Amino acid sequence: MDGHAPEYLVKLRSIPKESFLFGPSPIQSLPRLSKVLSPDGGVKIYAKRDDCNSGLAYGGNKVRKLEYLVADAKKQGCDTLVSVGGVQSNHTRAVTAVATASGMKAVTVQEKWVPIDPPLYDKTGNILLSRLMGGDVRLNQEGFHIGHKEATKEAMDSVKANGGKPYYVPAGASDHELGGLGFTNFVVELAEQEASMNIFFDTLIVCSVTGSSHAGLIVGAVAEGKGRKIIGIDASGKPVETKAQVSRIARNTAALLDPKLEIPDSAIILDERFHEGIYGIPGPSTIAAMKTAAQTDAVITDPVYEGKSMAGMIQLVKEGAIKPGSNVLYVHLGGQPALNAYSSYFE
């Protein structure tokens, strides 16, 4: 089969990865949300549920990416995954989960990326799950940015000092040579599902912060050449940095898979109207979008990521930026375990 496949697909299939997913994540029709946003039935909305993609500690988008990074860690003979995120990081929870399931250790640096202290914020949600799985959780006070952190280097050094062999996983499993592969493969997976469903999703909506989910989707869409539009919704509050990182990861991923595959600037779309000014804190549009999704098709989103991308999708349909006749796919990346830590926003 690979003899007739495009070069990028042959290369993608050749790169080792672990099997942490149930299989293709399910695609769910959202008829009630579609009717609310498009009463004349012109826009049909579906969700691809990457929040339901794995049995490892509630899954989520990071597990799809980590299939490639853990395979690489094993190849290098590493025994400990070291990573970084905020106190309520979905990513560090997923790193701890895949490490545990692979017989490895996890050291996660949990920083004060969100300048709030609601009740039990550092004791419930994602961080509780990491501790339950036996992760080595290290709290510090450094603030949010999507780059590489000194505290992670110190954690790597401490693992080495204790005789371990650490493997560095950047924030969000993003700014890594293999970081974009999981969501390039997502598009391949999606195309197979579309063929069986007899549908084509012309527009994909995805949350964008550390950038590799967004970047991988762009690479997959450009490589397949069907004109599929990927719209990233910024939730970082630092859209200039996020867009630069998405662009870099997309182009590096494309070069890894096929040196002739070029990512045009026009393919990199980041809507920066919905981040509410800051990472990790929901504003009125976030909370309204979360309630709309929950009270139509019982789709639960979180206040940090998916609530903001849901707000983006709702507005894009309402304002007509997504045209009648479109089949829209909301890429649900997960994140719901953090909800408990934000309960005070919903009283």
Measured at the CA of 252, the angle between CA 223 and CA 147, to 5 degrees, comes to: 130
Segment 161-195, tens digit of pLDDT: 999 999 999 999 999 999 999 999 999 999 999 99
197 shares its domain with 101: no
272 shares its domain with 312: yes
18 shares its domain with 45: yes
Expressed as residue numbers, the domain containing 104 is 75-172
- Domain assignment present for residue 289? The answer is yes
Give me the pLDDT at residue 347, please: 86
Residue of 25, 89, 174, 285 with catalytic role? 89
- Domain assignment present for residue 63? The answer is no
Segment 119-140, tens digit of pLDDT: 899 999 999 999 999 999 999 9
pLDDT > 50? residue 1: no
User: What is the rounded distance in angstroms from the CA atom of residue 219 to the CA atom of residue 11?
Assistant: 13
Find the mean pLDDT for residues 14-25.
98
Do the Cβ atoms of 233 and 197 come closer than 8 Å? no
- Domain assignment present for residue 66? The answer is no
51 shares its domain with 86: no
Number of structural domains (the chain) is: 2
Query: Longest Cα pair distance anywhere in the chain, in angstroms?
Result: 64
Domain final residue, candidates 123, 142, 172: 172
54 included as an active-site residue: no
Specify the amino acid at residue 99: A
235 shares its domain with 274: yes
Find the mean pLDDT for residues 78-94.
97
158 shares its domain with 187: no
- Domain assignment present for residue 243? The answer is yes
| Helices 181-197 & 61-75 angle (0-180, nearest 10) | 130
- Domain assignment present for residue 188? The answer is yes
Domain final residue, candidates 123, 144, 172: 172
Do the Cβ atoms of 332 and 294 come closer than 8 Å? no
331 shares its domain with 211: yes
For the entire predicted model, the pTM comes to 0.97
184 shares its domain with 163: no
- Domain assignment present for residue 189? The answer is yes
- Domain assignment present for residue 67? The answer is no
User: What is the rounded distance in angstroms from the CA atom of residue 165 to the CA atom of residue 239?
Assistant: 35
- Domain assignment present for residue 288? The answer is yes
Segment 198-235, tens digit of pLDDT: 999 999 999 999 999 999 999 999 999 999 999 999 99
